[in-house]
Structure 1
Amino acid sequence: MIFPSKVNESKKGGKAFYIGTLIGGIILILVIMLDILVLGPDTTARNIAPSYTIAKKINAGNFLMRIEAIIATIWVFTTYTRTVMYFYVSVVVFSNLFILKDFRPFTTALGMIMVFYSLIVFPTVPSSGEFSKNIWLFYTLTFGLVMPLLLFITAKYKIIIKKHHGIQQRFLLM
């Protein structure tokens, strides 16, 4: 969402983007494998945070223990970072929608809306699980497949129309 418009050198940015995605994917696969190998597939599937459960089990000679605090800190930090990124993109998109050069007037209002909306959508942890089980697939398909496909088709259609109009204008000038 941010990558194309905020990068000066697109080739270097694209390479960094793909390398970061690859490294993140490898780390994710390793963590999931570790969770499944230590806890088993059934416990891993039932647990909300299996990595946190594994961290609680670590005890190396009564010296290295209570690692779950580190996991919780990392979890809070990454959740905060992801939320800030999504919020920034939302504010910039809204300012672009209303053709404003400065996005700052939207920050307070959108921040309040985000807080109240989060309390309405996910009032409890079970409601979050219910969303993941029943709605998440359709939500992801809409915003992860249908919308990008529509944008891609629209962009290709615009290019075809521009080429067609360009050809017509050349014939009119001759």
Structure 2
Amino acid sequence: MKEKKGGKAFYIGTLIGGIILILVIMLDILVLGPDNTARNIAPSYTMAKKINVGNFLMRIEAVIATIWIFTTYTRTVMYFYVSVVVFSNIFNIKDYRPFTTALGVIMVFYSLIVFPTVSSSGEYNKNIWLFHAAAFGLVMPLLLFITAKFRNIFKKHHGSQ
């Protein structure tokens, strides 16, 4: 029963997120035009700078920046937590906490290597991002799946003797 509710919530959340994303992209294109939208790194932030309702409602970009920072932080924390738990599961360690400091330091230095400047992000996105995303989105889940299967086979084999 919980799986059905979870699946339904997942699909509803995905639908709502997709609708919001489509609306924001449409607003960006309608306000800034297709050329400016394509050239901007953060078109929603640029669009928020243009909002001026009766010289009263202005400077909305601060709200956009706050939301952007909060969501980036939340996403980073979630990715980091998943990475730490995956590594602890791969090495069959019950407590993931011993890995947090080491992987945190690795993450900080890795980020400095990958993105030394803001302009390097475009180069990274063109040439490296696909392999990086495949590692975390395909290889790590497959490694977890294979590890779980081997553990089950090992438990069945040694449990029957």
Same fold (TM over 0.5): yes
Q: Which has the higher contact order (CA 8 A, sep 6+)?
A: 2
Q: Once superposed, what is the RMSD of the aligned Cα atoms?
A: 2.3
Task: Please list, as runs of the form range in 1=range in 2, the aligned pairs for 1:62-101 lying within 5 A after superposition.
Answer: 62-101=55-94
Give the counterpart letter for 1:83 in structure 2: T
Match of 1:19 among 5, 8, 12: 12
Match of 2:43 in 1: 50
Cα offset for 1:18?
Answer: 1.2
**Is the partner of 1:123 in helix, strand or coil?**
coil
Cα offset for 1:93?
Answer: 0.2
Mapped partners of 1:73, 1:139: distance in 2:
27
Task: Please list, as runs of the form range in 1=range in 2, the aligned pairs for 1:124-143 lying within 5 A after superposition.
Answer: 124-140=117-133
Bigger mean CA offset, 133-142 vs 79-88: 133-142
* Percentage of matched positions with identical amino acids: 82
Q: Could you say if the C-alpha distance between residues 141 and 111 of structure 1 is closer, same or farther in structure 2, counting changes exceeding 3 Å? A: closer
Match of 1:169 in 2: none
Cα offset for 1:141?
Answer: 5.6
Are 2:27 and 1:34 equivalent residues in the alignment?
yes
Cα offset for 1:135?
Answer: 2.9
Mapped partners of 1:80, 1:102: distance in 2:
24
**Is the partner of 1:70 in helix, strand or coil?**
helix
5+ residue gaps, structure 1:
1-7, 163-174
Match of 1:165 in 2: none
Mapped partners of 1:147, 1:13: distance in 2:
25
Match of 2:114 in 1: 121
Show CA shifts across 1:83-138 (max 9, x none).
Answer: 01000000000100110111111111111110111001111111111111233345
TM-score by length of 1: 0.76
